[in-house]
C-alpha cells in the first residue's frame, strides 16, 4: 500500500523598506528516498521572478534551489507544489544493536556517503554537547538495552519534559537555552534530542519535512493547518540502520511525515538560508497543505 | 678576537646545533659568517644591527599580538643572526618536501573525491566526518585549475638524530612568506658587506614565478588576480597588504566581492569586474556564509556556487584546511606508499592515533616520551595550547584508562626536541631552539620552493617558547651555495614578467577609504590651523573671553574640539580616524607615509599630556602643522596618479571646500567682531597674497574675493571647486560623450555658481548653502562609486 500526497507550501515575507538583492538557498521540496518516498513532481515558484536561479543537490541529498532576487522588493513569495508517493513502513521489530555494541558497529562502517553514521556523532554548528542534556539523556535511558529502546526512552522523556510553545524560542535559540526553559518548537525538540543521543554515542541526524495533521473526528480539515516540521533520525546499528523518531509528537515517523532532507542539524537543512533579517521591519508567514489524493 | 661574540658559544647538552658540531667546531657553512661577525667591534656590530632595526621601523613591519581582552600591533621581533643551511642539505630537504606536497594533493583529491582511502580502511572515517575543516559542500567539486593545492608551507625541525622532521603541514592559508621577505631585506641590510659576498640564494625569483603562475591560471586576459584577506584585525594583515603590494594584486575583503551568474566579481568604482583567481588568506569555512559557516561576516554569499560553476580558481581550494589535522600525521607515512608509491623521504613527527589498539599499546610502552593532545587539532605540536598532557606524568593505570575511554579523540606524539641555532642574547651568541617554516608554490613546471624561509627562534632554551605570541622572534634563512648565485634583486627588475602591471579597476572599498583618508588628513590640518590661531590670540590678549576667540568657537566645536584643552581630544580622534582609515588601504600606502602618520599621532598624543593653552599650544600647533605638511607631501604628492589618487584628492578638496565655506560664513558675517576678517585671512594662510593683491586694508569684499572667488589662490573655495570638478570629470562614466553623470552635473553647477559670482553676492547665507551643496556631492559620489 502506498499513500499519495499533494503538498503545497506557501511562504511570504514582507518588508517595510525595499530590500537589497539577496542570494538565498531554498530547501523546500521533498526528496526521493528509496524505500521511503518517491517524488512524482515538484516545482518551486518565486515571486518576484528571480534574477538568477539554479538547482543542485547538496551533500545530504537534499534538493536546493539557489536564487538571487532583484533589488528593491517589499514582498517575496515562495510557493512549492509537489506530489509524493509515500511507501515507507515503520518497523515494529527491534533489530537495533545493544547499546554496548553500537560503537563497534559504527566503527566498521568505512564510508563517508551521506547516510554514514559518522557524520552524525560529533557536535555540529547548532548542536553542541550540553552537559545538562547529556545528564538528562543518561538518566532517562538507564533501563534501555538496545539503541532503539534508548531512542524511544529519550524521545518520550523529552516529550513529557518540554512544553510545546511557539512563542518561547526562535530559530536561533541555542539548545541549552531552550532546554533550560523546558520549552520550544519541533526544531528545539529535535536538536535537543540529537544532542542527547550523540552524548549517548548514538548517531543522530536532523530531518526537515512536512507533517500532515488530521482534524479531530467529525471536523473538516482546515486549509493551511499542516506544517513544516522537524524530527530526528537515529542510527541504531548495522542491521536496523536508521529509525526516524518525532519527539514533538512522541512517535516514530510514519506516513504523515514527508521528508525534505537531512542534515547534522538545522543549519544543514534550514528551509531558507540568506533571508535578510531586518529587526522588526519584517513579517513572514507560511502555510502548508498536505492533501491525500 | 675583537669581541666575545663567539667565544662563549656552548651548545646545549644532547641537542644538535646548527652552528657548532659536537666537537665544538664551527660547521663549514657558517665559517665565513662567523669570522665576519667576529671581525666586527661591538660598536660596529651594534651599528650594523641598527640598520636592520631602522629598516623594519621605517617600513612599519608589525604583527598583531592578542592579549586577554584586546590585540595590538607589535614591532617585528627580528632575530638578527640568520639561519644558514648548506645547499646540498637543502636540496635533499626539497626533494622530500616536493614528495610530501604531491602526497597532500593526492590525499585532498581523495577526500573531496571518491573517498577510497576511507572505504579501503586506510583512514578512519571519523577523522574526516568529524572534522570541522572537511567542508561537505566542496565534496565532488573538481577545481578548475586541475589542482587543489597551489601554495603550501611546512614547519620543520631537526631532531636529536640530526635529521629533519616535518612538524606540521600548513595547507589552509599559509602565512609567513611576506615576513620572510622582510626578514631578508632587514638582515641583508645589517650584513650587507657579507651578504654581497656569501653565495646566498635570492628570494625574488620564487615570488615572480608564483605571480606568473597565478596570472596564468586566469581564463581570460582581462580577469583579475586578487588576494582575499580577513581584514586589518587579522594577525598577519600586514603581510597580506605587503604581498599584495609586492606582487601587484588587488587586496580584497569578502564584502568587496560579489557573485554574479556564476562569476566572482569585485565591486570597483567602474562597477563589477571579474576576479578570475583568488589567493585566499582567509580560513575556508568563513568564505561563504550561505553554504559554509552561516555566522561568517568575512565571506561572500555565493562563493561556493561560483566555484561549482567553475567561475574562478581558488588558491588553495576551499577545504584544504582538513590536511592540517594533527591525527592525519599518524597515517601519512602509510598513505605515502598507497598514494605516491614510495615511503616518505622526509618523515613527519612520530604520531599515533589512539583510536587504534595497537597504537594505544605502543603509547603505553613509551609513555615517558609521549605527549597526548586532541586528534582534532590544527595548530603546531610545539605551540602549547593547554590541551597537551605528558603521557609519562599519568600513572600507567590512569593512562590506560584514558586511552581506552578517549582514545579516538587523542593523538600521541613524540615530545618535540628541536636543534638550536645562534641568536644574539645580551651581546653574545647563544644557542636557541628554532623551527623552520618553508614555502612551496606550484608553477607551470611543478613545485618550486622558496630558497630560504622563516625561522622562529625561541626566547629561551625551552622549545615551547618559539611561539611569537610568547616572546619568540623570527630570523632570516640563508641557503648558502658553494658557487656564486645569480643576482636577483627584490627591487623591480627588467625581466619580461616584471613589466609594468596595468592597474585594475579600484575596489570600491579602497576608493571609499581613500576618499575618507583625504578628508581626515585635511580635517586634521584645518583643526590644527584653527587651534594655532586661537591660541596665538589667547597668548596675545590673555583674555579667554576675547570676541575674536568667541567667533572661532563654532568652527572648533563643529569638529568636536574644545580649545580649553591645549591639544584637544577632538584633534587626537581626527588623527586616529586618519590612521584607522589608512590601515584599511595599507596595500596602497607607502611605508614612509605610514611612519609619518604614526609619527604625528605619537607627537600629538605626547603633547596632549603636557601642552598648556596659549603660547605653548600655539607653538605645538606650528610643529604639528610642519609635520602635517610632510604627510600631505608623502601621501599625496608621491602617490601614483591612478584612480586611488583621484579619490584621495576628492576627499581632500571636498573637506577643504566645506571648511572654507563655513569659516567664511562665520567670519565674514557683518555681526562678526572686529578683526574677524584678518582672522579669516590668517586661517586661509593668505596674508602675503592679500597684502600683495590689495594694498588697502582688509574689507569684506577683498576677503571674499581672495578666499572665495580667486581661482589662483590655492586655498580659495573657487580653487577647490575647480579642482574637484576636474577630478570628478575624470571618474568612470562621469562624462559619456557630453552626457554628465549626476555627480559631474552637481560639480558643474557649483563651478558655475562660483565662476559668475561677485563678492557682494557671497553673503553668509549663500556660503552656507554652497557648503550644503558641497556636502551633497559626497552623497552622490557614494551612490555612484562606493
pLDDT in tens, B439-465: 999 998 899 999 999 999 998 887 766
| Binding-face residues of A in 240-269 toward B, CB within 8 A | 267
Cβ atoms A129, A199 nearer than 8 A: yes
Q: Is A23 within 8 Å of B259 when comparing Cβ atoms?
A: yes
**Set of chain A residues whose Cβ sits within 8 Å of the Cβ of B139:** 59
**Best mutation target, A21, A23, A70, to test chain B (most B CBs within 10 A):** A23
pTM (2 decimals)?
0.86
Residues in chain A: 293
Structure confidence by residue, pLDDT tens digits, B755-785 = 999 999 999 999 999 999 999 998 888 888 8
How far apart CA B96 and CA A75 sit, in angstroms, is 60
- CB atoms under 10 Å from CB of B355, counted, come to 21
A30 belongs to a structural domain: yes
Per-residue 3-state assignment (H helix, E strand, C coil) for B468-516: HHHCCEEEEEEEECCCCCCCCCCCCCCCHHHCCCCCCCCEHHHHHHHHH
pLDDT, residue B487, reads 66
In a domain, A93, yes or no: no
Q: d(Cα A132, Cα A175) in Å, to the nearest integer?
A: 11
How far is Cα B390 from Cα B618, in angstroms, rounded to an integer? 64
Q: Do A231 and A282 fall into the same domain?
A: no
The rounded distance, in Å, linking the Cα atoms of B786 and B781 is 7
Q: What CA–CA distances, in Å, run from A277 to A70, A280, B625?
A: 17, 9, 47
C-alpha cell at B76: 617585528
Closest C-alpha among B705, B680, B685 to residue B760: B705
Between B280 and A224, the more confident residue is B280
Please indicate, yes or no, whether residues A258 and A196 belong to a single structural domain of this protein: yes
Partner residue opposite B125 with nearest CB, options A59, A66, A111: A111
Residue A131 near residue A261 (C-beta atoms within 8 A):
no
Contacts of A119 in chain B (CB under 8 A): 129
Asked whether residue A182 is assigned to any structural domain, the reply reads yes
Task: Give the closest-approach CA distance of B106 to chain A in angstroms.
Answer: 17
Is the minimum CB–CB distance between A75 and chain B shorter than 8 Å?
A: no
Q: Which residue of chain B is at minimal alpha-carbon distance from A104?
A: B355
**A62 touching B, CB under 8 A?**
no
User: Is A121 contained in some domain?
Assistant: yes
- Collapsing DSSP to helix, strand or coil, B39 comes out as coil
Taking chain A, what is the end-to-end CA distance rounded to the nearest angstrom?
Answer: 14
Give chain A positions within 8 Å (CB) of B291. 25
Sign of CA dihedral B89, B92, B94, B100: negative
Residue B498: per-residue pLDDT: 41
CATH of the domain at A106: 3.10.620.30
Please report the sign of the dihedral spanned by the C-alpha atoms of residue B38, residue B42, residue B43, residue B48: positive
Are A265 and A278 part of one and the same domain?
no
Collect all residues of chain A within an 8 Å Cβ-Cβ radius of residue B302: 23, 66, 68
**Contact at 8 Å (CB) between B222 and B203?**
no
Rg (chain B; Cα; Å): 31
| Domain co-membership, A55 together with A129 | no
Residues of A in contact with B301 (CB under 8 A): 22-23, 274
For residues A200 and B597, the model is more confident at A200
Residues A264 and A135 placed together within one structural domain of the fold: yes
A21 to chain B, minimum CA–CA distance in Å?
11
Contact B638/B590 with Cβ under 8 angstroms? Answer: yes
What's residue B465's pLDDT? 66
Whether B302 sits inside 8 A of A25 (CB atoms) is no
The answer to which of A190-204, A231-245, B558-572 has the lowest mean pLDDT is: B558-572
Q: DSSP 3-state assignment of B351?
A: strand
Chain A residues with beta carbon closer than 8 angstroms to that of B128: 112, 118
Q: What three-state secondary structure class fits B283?
A: coil
| Beta carbons of B221 and B273 less than 8 angstroms apart | no
Three-class SS state of B74:
strand
Q: Which residue has the higher pLDDT, A261 or B499?
A: A261
Burial bucket for residue B209 (CB in 10 Å: 0-12, 13-18, 19+): middle
At residue A66, φ and ψ (nearest 5 deg) are -105, 125
CA A26 vs. chain centroid, Å, equals 14
Q: Would you state the cell numbers that stand for residue B27, as one nine-digit string?
A: 660547521
Confidence at residue B399, expressed as pLDDT on a 0 to 100 scale:
92
Closest chain B residue to A274 measured between Cα atoms?
Answer: B290
| Residues from B in contact with A at Cβ < 8 Å | 115, 118-121, 125-126, 128-130, 136-137, 139, 259-261, 289-291, 293-294, 301-302, 305, 308
CA–CA separation, B549 vs B79, rounded Å? Answer: 54
- What number is the average pLDDT over the span B51-76? 74
Question: Chain A interface, mutation test: which of B125, B295, B302, B783, most A Cβ atoms within 10 Å?
Answer: B125
Local structure of residue A217 (DSSP, 8 states): T
pLDDT value of position B345: 93
**How many structural domains comprise chain A?**
2
Q: CA torsion B116→B119→B122→B128, rounded to 10°?
A: 90
Mean pLDDT score across all residues of chain A: 91
Nearest CB among A22, A112, A125 relative to B125 is that of: A112
Helices (H) and strands (E) in chain B, counts: 25, 22
**Cα separation of A275 and A285, whole Å?**
13
Question: Residue A176 belongs to what H/E stretch?
Answer: helix A175-181
Which among B120, B128, B294 has the least Cβ separation from residue A112? B128
List CB contacts (< 8 A) between B120 and chain A.
110
Q: Quick one: closest CA in B to A110, which residue?
A: B119
The C-alpha cell at B97 is 618536501
Q: Is-contact B435 B453, C-beta < 8 A?
A: no
Q: For residue B125, which residues of chain A lie inside 8 Å, CB to CB?
A: 109-112, 116, 118
Q: Which of A169-173, B234-238, B362-366, B705-709 has the lowest mean pLDDT?
A: B234-238
What integer is the mean pLDDT of A81-108? 89
Angle at alpha carbon of residue B672, lines to B668 and B677, rounded to 5°:
45
**Are residue A104 and residue A134 in the same domain, yes or no?**
yes
Give me chain B's average pLDDT, please.
89
SS (H, E, C) B245-260: HHHCCEEECHHHEEEE
| Chain B residue at shortest CA distance from A115 | B129
Strand, helix or coil for residue B725: helix
Task: Determine contact, residues B316/B323, Cβ cutoff 8 Å.
Answer: no
Cβ-defined contact of A119 to B115 (cutoff 8 Å): no
The pLDDT of residue B384: 60
Q: How many CB pairs under 8 A join A and B?
A: 60
Most confidently modeled range among B100-109, B544-553, B616-625, B720-729: B100-109
A66 touches chain B (CB under 8 A): yes
What confidence score (pLDDT) does residue B707 get?
A: 94
Is the per-residue pLDDT at B490 higher than 50?
no
- Would you say residue A142 lies in a domain? yes
Chain B residues close to A66, C-beta within 8 Å? 302, 305
Q: Are B139 and A24 inside 8 Å of each other by CB?
A: no
Domain around A39? 3-87+271-292
Residue A202: inside a domain? yes
DSSP-derived letter for residue B284 is: G
Is the bond preceding A48 in cis, omega lying within 30 degrees of 0?
A: yes
Cα–Cα distance between B749 and B70 in angstroms, integer?
Answer: 48
Query: Do residues A143 and A263 share a domain?
Result: yes
- More reliable by pLDDT, B83 or B512: B83
In a domain, A92, yes or no: no
- pLDDT of residue B201 exceeding 80, the answer is yes
Alpha helices in B567-699 (DSSP H): 569-584, 591-608, 615-632, 643-667, 676-683, 687-693
DSSP class of A252: E
In the predicted structure, residue B665 carries a pLDDT above the cut 50:
yes
Residue B499 has pLDDT above 60, yes or no: no
Q: How far is A56 from chain B (nearest CA, A)?
A: 10
> Which residues, at least 6 apart from B489, have a Cβ–Cβ distance to it below 8 Å?
B202, B204
Burial of residue B386, with CB atoms counted within 10 A of its CB: 0-12 exposed, 13-18 middle, 19 or more buried: exposed
Best of A50, A55, A67, A110 to mutate (most B CBs within 10 Å, chain B): A110
The interface pTM score, or ipTM, of the predicted complex is 0.95
Residues of B in contact with A52 (CB under 8 A): 260-261
Average pLDDT over residues B638-658: 87
CATH number of the domain residue A53 falls in: 2.60.40.2250
Q: Same structural domain for residues A282 and A154?
A: no
Q: Tell me, what's the pLDDT at B585?
A: 84
Q: What whole-number distance in Å separates Cα of residue B61 and Cα of residue B184?
A: 13
| A76: β partners | A13
Query: Closest partner residue to A118 among B125, B259, B289, by Cβ?
Result: B125
Closest CA to B587 of B269, B254, B247: B247
CB distance B241 to B587 below 8 Å: yes
C-alpha distance from B308 to closest chain A C-alpha (Å): 10
Burial class (CB in 10 A: 0-12, 13-18, 19+), B616: middle
Number of Cβ atoms within 10 Å of the Cβ of B146: 8
Chain A residues within an 8 Å CB radius of B290: 23-25, 273-274
**Is residue A37 domain-shared with residue A125, that is, in the same domain?**
no
How far does B259 lie from chain A, in Å, by closest CA? 9
CA–CA separation, B489 and B501 (whole Å): 18
Of A24, A68, A119, Cβ closest to residue B129: A119
Which is it for strands B410-414 and B428-443: parallel, antiparallel or unpaired?
A: unpaired
Distance CA A290, CA A211 (A): 7
Q: How far from B193 is each of A266, B48, B51, B59, B409, CA to CA, in Å?
A: 64, 10, 13, 22, 53
Best residue in B124, B126, B289 for a mutation probing chain A (most A CBs within 10 Å): B126
Say whether B121 and A122 touch across the interface (CB within 8 A). no
Residues A27 and A131 in one domain: no
Residues B124-147: pLDDT tens digits?
Answer: 999 999 999 999 999 999 999 999
Angstroms from A222 CA to nearest CA on chain B: 35
A203 to chain B, minimum CA–CA distance in Å? 12
Instruction: Please check whether residue A9 is in contact with residue A56, taking contact to mean a CB–CB distance below 8 angstroms.
Output: no
The answer on A258 and A147 residing in a single domain is yes
A278 or A152, greater pLDDT: A152
State whether A118 and A233 are in the same domain. yes
DSSP string, B104-119: HHHHHHHHTTT-HHHH
Residue B67 has what pLDDT?
60
**CA pair distance B411, B160, nearest whole angstrom:** 22
Query: A52 and B115: CB-CB below 8 Å?
Result: no
What is the 8-class DSSP label of residue A117? G
Residue A162 lies in a domain: yes
Q: How many CA atoms lie within 13 A of B389 on its CB side?
A: 17
| A34 SS3 class | coil
Measured CA to CA, the distance from residue B275 to residue B252 in angstroms comes to 10
Above 60 in pLDDT, residue B588?
yes
Contact B620, B566 (CB under 8 A): yes
Q: Does position B350 have pLDDT exceeding 70, yes or no?
A: yes
Measured between CA atoms, how close is B435 to chain A, in angstroms? 33
Q: β-strand B428-443 against B420-425: which pairing, if any? A: antiparallel
Amino acid at each position: 500500500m502506498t499513500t499519495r500526497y499533494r503538498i503545497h507550501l506557501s511562504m511570504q515575507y514582507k518588508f517595510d523598506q525595499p530590500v537589497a538583492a539577496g542570494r538565498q538557498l531554498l530547501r523546500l521540496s521533498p526528496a526521493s528516498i528509496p524505500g521511503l518516498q518517491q517524488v512524482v513532481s515538484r516545482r518551486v515558484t518565486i515571486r518576484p521572478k528571480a534574477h538568477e536561479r539554479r538547482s543542485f543537490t547538496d551533500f545530504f541529498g537534499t534538493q536546493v534551489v539557489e536564487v538571487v532576487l532583484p533589488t528593491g522588493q517589499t514582498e517575496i513569495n515562495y510557493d512549492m507544489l509537489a506530489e509524493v508517493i509515500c511507501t515507507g513502513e515503520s518497523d515494529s521489530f527491534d533489530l537495533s544493536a545493544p547499546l554496548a555494541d553500537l560503537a563497534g558497529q559504527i566503527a566498521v562502517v568505512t564510508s563517508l556517503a551521506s547516510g554514514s553514521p559518522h557524520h552524525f556523532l560529533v557536535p555540529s554548528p547548532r548542536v553542541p554537547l550540553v552537559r545538562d542534556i547529556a545528564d538528562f539523556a543518561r538518566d532517562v535511558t538507564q533501563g534501555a538495552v538496545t539503541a532503539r529502546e534508548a531512542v524511544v526512552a529519550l524521545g518520550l522523556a523529552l516529550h513529557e519534559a518540554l512544553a510545546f510553545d511557539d512563542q518561547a524560542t526562535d530559530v536561533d535559540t541555542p539548545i541549552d537555552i531552550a532546554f533550560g526553559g523546558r520549552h520550544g518548537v519541533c526544531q528545539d525538540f529535535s536538536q535537543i534530542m540529537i544532542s542527547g543521543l550523540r552524548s549517548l554515542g548514538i548517531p543522530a541526524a536532523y530531518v526537515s519535512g512536512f507533517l500532515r495533521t488530521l482534524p479531530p473526528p467529525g471536523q473538516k480539515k482546515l486549509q493551511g493547518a499542516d506544517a513544516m516540521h522537524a524530527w530526528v533520525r537515529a542510527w541504531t546499528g548495522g542491521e536496523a540502520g536508521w529509525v526516524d523518531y518525532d519527539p514533538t509528537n512522541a512517535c516514530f515517523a510514519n506516513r504523515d511525515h514527508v521528508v525534505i532532507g537531512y542534515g547534522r542539524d538545522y543549519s544543514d537543512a534550514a528551509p531558507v538560508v540568506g533571508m535578510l533579517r531586518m529587526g522588526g521591519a519584517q513579517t513572514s508567514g507560511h502555510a502548508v497543505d498536505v492533501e491525500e489524493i | 678576537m675583537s669581541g666575545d661574540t663567539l667565544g662563549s658559544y656552548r651548545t646545549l647538552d644532547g641537542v644538535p646545533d646548527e652552528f657548532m658540531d659536537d666537537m665544538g667546531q664551527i660547521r663549514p657553512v657558517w665559517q665565513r659568517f662567523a669570522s665576519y661577525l667576529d671581525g666586527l667591534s661591538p660598536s660596529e656590530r651594534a651599528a650594523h644591527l641598527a640598520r636592520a632595526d631602522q629598516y623594519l621601523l621605517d617600513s612599519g613591519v608589525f604583527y598583531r599580538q592578542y592579549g586577554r581582552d584586546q590585540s595590538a600591533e607589535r614591532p617585528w621581533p627580528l632575530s638578527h643572526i640568520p639561519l644558514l643551511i648548506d645547499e646540498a642539505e637543502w636540496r635533499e630537504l626539497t626533494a622530500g618536501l616536493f614528495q610530501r606536497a604531491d602526497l597532500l594533493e593526492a590525499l585532498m583529491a581523495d577526500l573531496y573525491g571518491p573517498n577510497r582511502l576511507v572505504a579501503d580502511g586506510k583512514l578512519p572515517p571519523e577523522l574526516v566526518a568529524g572534522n570541522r575543516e572537511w567542508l561537505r559542500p566542496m565534496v565532488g567539486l573538481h577545481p578548475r585549475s586541475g589542482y587543489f593545492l597551489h601554495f603550501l608551507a611546512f614547519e620543520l625541525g631537526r631532531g636529536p638524530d640530526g635529521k629533519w622532521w616535518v612538524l606540521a603541514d600548513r595547507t589552509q592559508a599559509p602565512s609567513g612568506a611576506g615576513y620572510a621577505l622582510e626578514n631578508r631585506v632587514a638582515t641583508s641590510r645589517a650584513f650587507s658587506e657579507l651578504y654581497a659576498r656569501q653565495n646566498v640564494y635570492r628570494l625574488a625569483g620564487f615570488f615572480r614565478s608564483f605571480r606568473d603562475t597565478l596570472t596564468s591560471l586566469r581564463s581570460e586576459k582581462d580577469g583579475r588576480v586578487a588576494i582575499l584577506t580577513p581584514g586589518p584585525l587579522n594577525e598577519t594583515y600586514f603581510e597580506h597588504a605587503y604581498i599584495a603590494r609586492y606582487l601587484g594584486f588587488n587586496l580584497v575583503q569578502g564584502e568587496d566581492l560579489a557573485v554574479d551568474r556564476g562569476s566572482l566579481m569585485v565591486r570597483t568604482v567602474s562597477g563589477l569586474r571579474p576576479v578570475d583567481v583568488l589567493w585566499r588568506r582567509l580560513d575556508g569555512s568563513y568564505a561563504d556564509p550561505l553554504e559554509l559557516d552561516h555566522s561568517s561576516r568575512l565571506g561572500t554569499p555565493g562563493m561556493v556556487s561560483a566555484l561549482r560553476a567553475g567561475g574562478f580558481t581558488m588558491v588553495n581550494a576551499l577545504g584544504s584546511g582538513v590536511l592540517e589535522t594533527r591525527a592525519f600525521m599518524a597515517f601519512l607515512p602509510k598513505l605515502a606508499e598507497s598514494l605516491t608509491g614510495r615511503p616518505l623521504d622526509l618523515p613527519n613527527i612520530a604520531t599515533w592515533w589512539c583510536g587504534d589498539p595497537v597504537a594505544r599499546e605502543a603509547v603505553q610502552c613509551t609513555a615517558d616520551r609521549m605527549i597526548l593532545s586532541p586528534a582534532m587539532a590544527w595548530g603546531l605540536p610545539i605551540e602549547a595550547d593547554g590541551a597537551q598532557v605528558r603521557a609519562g606524568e599519568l600513572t600507567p593505570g590512569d593512562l590506560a584508562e584514558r586511552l581506552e575511554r578517549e582514545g579516538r579523540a587523542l593523538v600521541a606524539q613524540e615530545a618535540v626536541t628541536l636543534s638550536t641555532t645562534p641568536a644574539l642574547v645580551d651581546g653574545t651568541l647563544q644557542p636557541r631552539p628554532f623551527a623552520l617554516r618553508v614555502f612551496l608554490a606550484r608553477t607551470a613546471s611543478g613545485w618550486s620552493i622558496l630558497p630560504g624561509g622563516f625561522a622562529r627562534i625561541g626566547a629561551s632554551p625551552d622549545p615551547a617558547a618559539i611561539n611569537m605570541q610568547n616572546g619568540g622572534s623570527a630570523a632570516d634563512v640563508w641557503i648558502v651555495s658553494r658557487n656564486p648565485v645569480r643576482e636577483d634583486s627584490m627591487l623591480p627588475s627588467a625581466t619580461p614578467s616584471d613589466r609594468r602591471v596595468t592597474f585594475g579597476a579600484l575596489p570600491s572599498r579602497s576608493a571609499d577609504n581613500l576618499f575618507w583618508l583625504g578628508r581626515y588628513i585635511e580635517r586634521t590640518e584645518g583643526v590644527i590651523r584653527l587651534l594655532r590661531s586661537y591660541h596665538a590670540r589667547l597668548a596675545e590678549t590673555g583674555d579667554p573671553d576675547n570676541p575674536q576667540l568667541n567667533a572661532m568657537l563654532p568652527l572648533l566645536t563643529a569638529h568636536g574640539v574644545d580649545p580649553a584643552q591645549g591639544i584637544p581630544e577632538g584633534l587626537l580622534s581626527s588623527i586616529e580616524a586618519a590612521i584607522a582609515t589608512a590601515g584599511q588601504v595599507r596595500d596602497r600606502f607607502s611605508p614612509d607615509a605610514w611612519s609619518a602618520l604614526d609619527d604625528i599621532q605619537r607627537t600629538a598624543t605626547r603633547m596632549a599630556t603636557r601642552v598648556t593653552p596659549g603660547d605653548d599650544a600655539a607653538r605645538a600647533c606650528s610643529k604639528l602643522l610642519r609635520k602635517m605638511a610632510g604627510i600631505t607631501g608623502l601621501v599625496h604628492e608621491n602617490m601614483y596618479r591612478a584612480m586611488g589618487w583621484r579619490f584621495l584628492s576628492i576627499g581632500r578638496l571636498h573637506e577643504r571646500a566645506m571648511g572654507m565655506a563655513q569659516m567664511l560664513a562665520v567670519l565674514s558675517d557683518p555681526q562678526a567682531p572686529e578683526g574677524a576678517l584678518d582672522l579669516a585671512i590668517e586661517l586661509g594662510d593668505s596674508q602675503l597674497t592679500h597684502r600683495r593683491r590689495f594694498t588697502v586694508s582688509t574689507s569684506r569684499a577683498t576677503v571674499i574675493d581672495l578666499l572665495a572667488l580667486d581661482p589662483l589662490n590655492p586655498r580659495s573655495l573657487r580653487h577647490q571647486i575647480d579642482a574637484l570638478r576636474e577630478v570628478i570629470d575624470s571618474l568612470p562614466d562621469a562624462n559619456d560623450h557630453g552626457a554628465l553623470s549626476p555627480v559631474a552635473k552637481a560639480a558643474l553647477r557649483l563651478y558655475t555658481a562660483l565662476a559668475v559670482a561677485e563678492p557682494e553676492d557671497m553673503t553668509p547665507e549663500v556660503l552656507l548653502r554652497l557648503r550644503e551643496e558641497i556636502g551633497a556631492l559626497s552623497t552622490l559620489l557614494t551612490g555612484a562609486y562606493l
